Structure 1
Amino acid sequence: MTTRPLVLACVVVLAACLAVAPAGGVQSEPTLTIADATLEPDGSTTVRVALDSAPNGLAGFEVRLALRSGVATVGGAEYPDRFRPTTDPDVGPDGREITIEAADLESAVGPGTTNVTLATVTVEANGTGTALLAVEAAQIDDDDGGRVDLGTAAGTIAVDAPTATPTETDRRPTTDAASGGEPPETDASGGGAVTTTGTGPGFGGLAAALALAIAALLGRRC
């Protein structure tokens, strides 16, 4: 007889929980992502810094990035035209850190905007190997004046070893020792090297005919 009120109480609590829960489920926090990049030794490239979502818009940001290896350095950054005003990128003295800062006074990034490019950072190779370009500190404010709780994802900067290029010696054809160091003769039809036999330059038949003629003359004189 006492179980019915308990069941009713559980139903009421469950209904209250469903009413409070958001319709779309639990929303994940916005993530600040640094793109990966691959470059050659002594080369440079640009790396995208992006916010995957801005649920309440974007008022401004200040982000400090750092390279965690000496295989590359940062050379500067550029902002999209929609951000005004912007602050000149501040590169650290060793080229391992950079701070980017800008505001969105014209509300170009409204609530619900996704895949927002904040800046593109120039990365220059300084060796071979890999390095992480990570977020060291970040403050992103939304249109309501609140600070956005962020997740971050570092980018991997890979500097490949140089690829060996053929030298002039590698491009020369193989020589034939039997022909005095000259490359073997090739058939014009594409059939490969031409092989010649005998010790003379190809006049064996003519020499035999001359020998027979001389023998005949001597026989007549005798």
Structure 2
Amino acid sequence: MFESKKLKRFVGENRVQPAQERLLGLGAAIIAAADFTPLVLALRTPREQLAAHLQQTWNVVDAHTARDAIVWLVDAGARETYADKYRAFQAGQSAPLNDSYGQLLTAAQRFGFAEQDLRGCPTLAAWDYDRAAALTRQSFALGYLDEAEVWEILGALVPEVHTEFNDWRSYALSLAVGRSFCFGGDPAEILTTLRRLLEKDPELSPWVLHPLNTL
């Protein structure tokens, strides 16, 4: 209860203008998986911890390396690396690359997702787009990018997302499938976050407050 009050106070103190807040739906899942503050640009993660994470995960240590990683995610990312493997899998010509995908299908209904929707997901793009947006936001928190550049990058990402997705649920499906197929890990981790963003926490979720078609 105390943590919930602290969280709501932090969010209330750091809200941005509505036109900017809409853009914070991008990167929301990755941000929220670490700490449920996707509705604001500010982060509560300790600076040293965040810097170590970006260096270890992306080799990002400054503005130059941050921009390079963001551009790669937007322009190519996992969806290009795994394109042939995912097409072959969907065509029934190969098995999934790891156990996580099967675990995702098994867990889907428990978290409010239909197994057939996950099986039929045509693209892995949201896994790349959400990581690109989250990395942008995290790079700002570390001082690698300034705020104006954050809004510019997120704004430029909107048309790419609109090309692939009609709503946050289809985006969430793609993100979950992309994570399991390309990365692995326990799917319950991301499914818990996605369900909370879609329906469980309307006061703190940019997905509830700002539908994808309003971006």
Q: TM-score range, shorter-chain basis? A: under 0.3
Greater Rg over alpha carbons, structure: 1
TM-score by length of 2: 0.22
Q: Which has the higher contact order (CA 8 A, sep 6+)?
A: 2
TM-score by length of 1: 0.22
Structure that is richer in strand per residue: 1
Structure that is richer in helix per residue: 2
